[in-house]
Amino acid sequence: MQAGRETIHSGPMVNPFALSWLWRGLKGHSVTFAALFASLLLGWSISAELAQGLARLGVHWLYAMILPAVLFMWLAKREDRFIPDESKRKLYARSLIGGSVLVAILIGWLKK
């Protein structure tokens, strides 16, 4: 290694959509995007699992990548039908986000 040059390891790649999901969960009161953010924060990607499940079923790789996004957008647009009360959607979305942050902090604290 040359003097003055160090290799910087940034850790695992962060999903660029995570902040967007957080914003949609908090500001837009979207339970769908709050659940996506919470699962990603806790290390389990719902969209990746769905894509892998579709791939195992023999769905073409391109569709296996696109279909989860289409499904989540469809669910987000129809949340008002599934949970008609906006105050409940707001409560559920914020509870998912807050709960996942607390669980992530607890896991980090317990690993020390």
- Taking all residues of the chain, what is their mean pLDDT, rounded to a whole number? 81
Region 73-84: what's the mean pLDDT?
Answer: 90
Structure tokens at 82: 């599934």
- Output the pTM of the full model: 0.71
Residue 1, pLDDT score: 46
Answer yes or no: is pLDDT of 88 > 60: yes
Q: How confident is the model at residue 37 (pLDDT cuts 50, 70, 90)?
A: confident
Distance separating alpha carbons of residues 88 and 31, to the nearest angstrom: 10
Distance separating alpha carbons of residues 80 and 22, to the nearest angstrom: 19
Q: How confident is the model at residue 72 (pLDDT cuts 50, 70, 90)?
A: confident
Distance separating alpha carbons of residues 74 and 15, to the nearest angstrom: 21
Answer yes or no: is pLDDT of 8 > 80: no
Residue 14's identity, in one-letter code, is: V
